[in-house]
Amino acid sequence: MKKRYALVTGGAGFIGSHTADALAKKGYKVKILDNLSPPVHTGRWPNYVLQKGFELIRGDVREKKMWEKALRGASCVYHLAAYQDQRLDFSTFFTTNTVSTALLYETIVERRFPVKKVVLASSQFVYGDGVYRCAHSESMFYPELRALIELKRKKWDILCPHGRPARSIPFREDQDVMPTNSYGLSKQALENCAMRLGKTYGIPTTAFRYSIVQGPRQSPRNLYSGALRIFVSQALAKVPITVYEDGMQTRDFVNIRDVVRANLLALTNRKTDFGIFNVGGGSAYRVLDFAKLVKKITASPSPIAIGAFRRTDTRHAVSDISKLKRLGWRPQHASAEAIRDYVRWFTEEGFDKRVDRRGLTALKKGIA
Ligand SMILES: NC(=O)c1ccc[n+]([C@@H]2O[C@H](COP(=O)([O-])OP(=O)(O)OC[C@H]3O[C@@H](n4cnc5c(N)ncnc54)[C@H](O)[C@@H]3O)[C@@H](O)[C@H]2O)c1
């Protein structure tokens, strides 16, 4: 029987490479389109994608000719390549994340490529701070980005418009989205673009809003990879573990194995077609507790230092995953497991020889 091709953009990266492995196990021939962009890569294909029989195409998703080459023969596409982080070249988020998505559909439609499914990586970041409920009046509101002056005064919590305490509600797919940065905005635009074009041209499409994904191959050079990379690097170097704000902010963390299962479910379950789904860990973690867990697992003597902050960070970011759970998916792997896997990989790759200084510098300056 002729083998089916799956195209994975960003397949040299963290989520893409694990997804490529899983697709190969399912019997797909895998093509990877990736430009090996720094700082995640150092100009060469990482070992974990070599000698796997994948077709490796080095190219940029912002170039239509690369899509024309990569899409040939593909029956499904995972568009995971992205520009990430909080950076000042705002337009690059839109060219890499959103314009590339338009180019993907443009090429499929123009060339009449018989693609049966497109799966795209969106992000929990589209929600921004999400929705809050006032503890006194029970009224709901969408908060604005916290003011710099308040953060400098170490006033971290979001208050209702009447200045009263407010509680964050877990993010649901049907609520309004309010991204706080260019990355989130470009992902919101990517979703709109993909859903509209997918429906108009009959190309089944699914977008996943991943929470913070954790596991091996998450590049330590990627600023975006956040808490796990920074905490592990600091814990192994025995320097202070730097936790932003007071550590009481909450996040949900999802294990890469669970993300890969969600990615594959999109291929077989037609109820995912033209749907947007949260893919999260299912429980809220205080960042301080997460730092303590890293400290415990690495048996590190590092103290935990709080107080510095980042300008556009959200206070709480926890996704409601009931929509995807209704399709039979649920997270099966705990955070502690992802931390152990990551520490093992991090050490094997020799990343423990360098300390991540950014958190320590932020601690001195107060702001990252
Ligand atoms: N890791 C997370 O916690 C997380 C959370 C939410 C959403 N996401 C999304 O999931 C996807 C995968 O993230 P990841 O963590 O694997 O990131 P990653 O940085 O490990 O992988 C991204 C890959 O995309 C490639 N790439 C970047 N720009 C490109 C371009 N212009 N052309 C071709 N390739 C390009 C990079 O070289 C890299 O290999 C991204 O779309 C990201 O926005 C990730």
Computed from CA positions of residues 207, 210, 216, 217, in that sequence, does the dihedral angle turn out positive or negative? positive
Name the DSSP class of 367. Answer: B
**Minimal CA–CA distance to 99: which of 204, 193, 205?**
193
Probe target for ligand 1 pocket from 19, 34, 47, with the most ligand atoms within 8 Å of CB: 34
Same domain, 135 and 221: no
Ligand 1, atom 39, residue with closest C-alpha: 13
Distance CA 170, CA 179 (A): 15
User: Which single residue is written with the structure tokens 């509209």?
Assistant: 196
Domain boundary among 154, 170, 186: 170
> pTM for the full model?
0.95
Distance CA 273, CA 311 (A): 36
Burial class (CB in 10 A: 0-12, 13-18, 19+), 78: buried
Classified as helix, coil or strand, 252 is: coil
**Contact, 186 vs 97, CB < 8 A?**
yes
Name the DSSP class of 319. Answer: B
Indicate whether residue 160 lines ligand 1 (CB < 6 A).
Answer: no
Question: What pLDDT digit, counting tens, does each position of 242-266 carry?
Answer: 999 999 999 999 999 999 999 999 9
Same domain, 226 and 148: no
Probe target for ligand 1 pocket from 210, 259, 276, 349, with the most ligand atoms within 8 Å of CB: 210
Number of domains observed in the structure of the chain: 2
11 Cα: distance to centroid of ligand 1 (angstroms): 8
pLDDT higher than threshold 60 for residue 1: no
Ligand 1, atom 38, residue with closest C-alpha: 13
Model pLDDT, residue 360: 63
Model pLDDT, residue 225: 59
Indicate whether residue 61 lines ligand 1 (CB < 6 A).
Answer: yes
Distance CA 241, CA 302 (A): 6
Region 209-225 average pLDDT: 85
Model pLDDT, residue 244: 95
Model pLDDT, residue 163: 87
Same domain, 159 and 271: no
**Contact, 250 vs 169, CB < 8 A?**
no
Same domain, 184 and 323: yes
Same domain, 139 and 95: no
Distance CA 92, CA 258 (A): 29
Question: What pLDDT digit, counting tens, does each position of 57-114 carry?
Answer: 999 999 999 999 999 999 999 999 999 987 889 999 999 999 999 999 999 999 999 9
Probe target for ligand 1 pocket from 8, 15, 104, with the most ligand atoms within 8 Å of CB: 15
Model pLDDT, residue 226: 77
Same domain, 146 and 257: no
Average model confidence (pLDDT) across the chain = 93
Which of ligand 1's atoms lies nearest the C-alpha of 124? 6
361 Cα: distance to centroid of ligand 1 (angstroms): 26
Question: What pLDDT digit, counting tens, does each position of 305-359 carry?
Answer: 999 998 888 999 999 999 999 999 999 998 889 999 999 999 998 887 666 666 6
The string of DSSP codes covering 288-309 is HHHHHHHHHHTT--PPEEE--B
- β-strand pairing of 117-123 with 74-79: parallel
Name the DSSP class of 87. Answer: -
Distance CA 134, CA 122 (A): 29
Model pLDDT, residue 87: 82
Same domain, 91 and 146: no
Question: What pLDDT digit, counting tens, does each position of 161-202 carry?
Answer: 888 889 999 999 999 999 989 999 999 999 999 999 999 999
- The CATH number that applies at residue 287 is 3.40.50.720
Indicate whether residue 223 lines ligand 1 (CB < 6 A).
Answer: no
Same domain, 166 and 184: no
Distance CA 87, CA 222 (A): 12
Region 289-307 average pLDDT: 96
Region 28-45 average pLDDT: 94
pLDDT above 70 as % of the chain = 94
Same domain, 80 and 143: no
The answer for residues whose C-beta is within 8 angstroms of residue 329's C-beta and 6 or more apart is 258, 261, 262, 265
Model pLDDT, residue 356: 63
Same domain, 149 and 88: no
Which residue range forms the structural domain that includes residue 148? Answer: 131-170
Domain boundary among 147, 170, 193: 170
Same domain, 59 and 143: no
40 Cα: distance to centroid of ligand 1 (angstroms): 9
Same domain, 144 and 185: no
